[in-house]
Amino acid sequence: MLKKISHYFLPHPETHQKAKLLSWHFLVIYILIFILIRVSLDIVTIYKPGVLGVNAELSVDKIISDTNVERQKQGLPPVTYNSSLSEAAKMKAQNMFAENYWAHFAPSGKDPWGFMKAAGYRFSYAGENLARNFSTSDDMVKAWMASPTHRENILNSKYQDIGIAVEEGVLQGQKTILVVQMFGHPYEAVAVSPPSNQVNTVAQIEPTITPEVPSSKEIMVAGTQNQPVAAVLIDPMVIIKATGVGFIVLISILLLTDFIVLRRRGVFRLSSAHVAHLSFLALTGAATIFAKIGEIL
C-alpha cells in the first residue's frame, strides 16, 4: 500500500516516470478544481447571499488623508471634509444596496447629482469615485490613482470639498463594503451693489454660476440599508489565493523531489513535461498574485 502511495509523490523506481501527481491527468484535475471553486462561489452568492464577503477596516479620515497626500504630491491644495457631501455619499451607497446595482447611475434613473442636491449640497462642479471590497485605504486609493479617470477626479484642481461614505451590506448576493467618494466645488456667491437710489439697501448675494446637472462626461468616472447582513463565513479571495498557493507549493515540492531523486539515480534529464509544469506554476502564480482584491468604478 505504501509503495503504491509513494508513486504519487516519487518517480517510479524502475521506469523513472514522474510522480503521478505531476502527470497530465492531475494537471487537468488542478485546473478543474480551480473552475469548480469559482463556480461554487458564484452559486453561493445566489443561494446564500451575504455568506461571501471580505472584512476590512476603512476609516473616513484615512481615506481623506490618503486622497490629500496624492493631491499635495501634485502641488494641489487639500480638499476639506464636508458633512453635506458625506451625507450625499451615504445616501448613494444606501441606494446602491436598496436597488442592488454597481454603477454611477441607478436603474431607477437616480444620479450622483440628485443625492448631492437632496443632501443640501449646492455645487458648481462635482465628481464621484466608487470602490468596493478593499481591505485597506492604501490599496483603494492606489487603485483609483492607477485609473486615469479616477485619478483625474482626485487631482482635479476645481474641487474644494470631499464627502466619504463607507457602508456595508449585501450587493448582488455578496457581503460588500462600499466606499463612495464625492468631490465638489461649492456654489460661489458675490456681493451685488445696491442701486444708487437705494443706498441703505442691504447688498444681495447671488450665485455666479447657474447650477446645471453635469453630463456623464463630467462624472470622470472614474450602514444602514434595507437588506439584512449575514455574518461573513467565507472570504472568496482567501479561498482562491489559498488554493493557488497550495498548488504552487505542492508542484514545487514534487518537482524538487523529482530533481533530487533522479539526480541521485543518474537519470535526470529535462523534458517537455518540465516546461508544462513550469508553465502551470507561472500561470497559477500570476492568477494568485493578480487575483482581484477590490473593484473601482
Q: Is the pLDDT of residue 111 over 80?
A: yes
Q: Give the contacts of 226 (CB within 8 A, at least 6 positions apart).
A: 94, 97, 98
Higher-pLDDT residue of 64, 195: 64
The average pLDDT across 48-55 equals: 56
- For residue 273, what pLDDT is reported? 63
Lowest mean pLDDT segment, chosen from 89-93, 117-121, 203-207: 203-207
- For residue 40, what pLDDT is reported? 80
> Interior CA angle at 57 toward 234 and 284, to 5°?
45
Q: Are strands 161-171 and 80-81 parallel, antiparallel or unpaired?
A: parallel
List pLDDT tens digits, range 8-51: 888 877 777 788 888 888 888 888 887 888 778 667 666 665 55
* Report for 117-126, 184-193, 199-208, 259-268: range of highest mean pLDDT: 117-126
Higher-pLDDT residue of 277, 128: 128
Dihedral (C-alpha) 287, 289, 295, 297: value to the nearest 10 degrees?
-90
Q: What is the rounded CA–CA span in Å between residue 184 and residue 214?
A: 12
Indicate the pTM of the whole model: 0.64
The average pLDDT across 66-83 equals: 96
- For residue 2, what pLDDT is reported? 75
List pLDDT tens digits, range 118-165: 999 999 999 999 999 887 889 899 999 999 999 999 999 999 999 999
- For residue 238, what pLDDT is reported? 72
Q: What is the rounded CA–CA span in Å between residue 122 and residue 126?
A: 10
Helix (H) / strand (E) element for 146: namely: helix 137-146
The average pLDDT across 217-225 equals: 40
Higher-pLDDT residue of 112, 272: 112
Higher-pLDDT residue of 144, 7: 144
Q: How confident is the model at residue 203 (pLDDT cuts 50, 70, 90)?
A: very low
The average pLDDT across 42-61 equals: 66
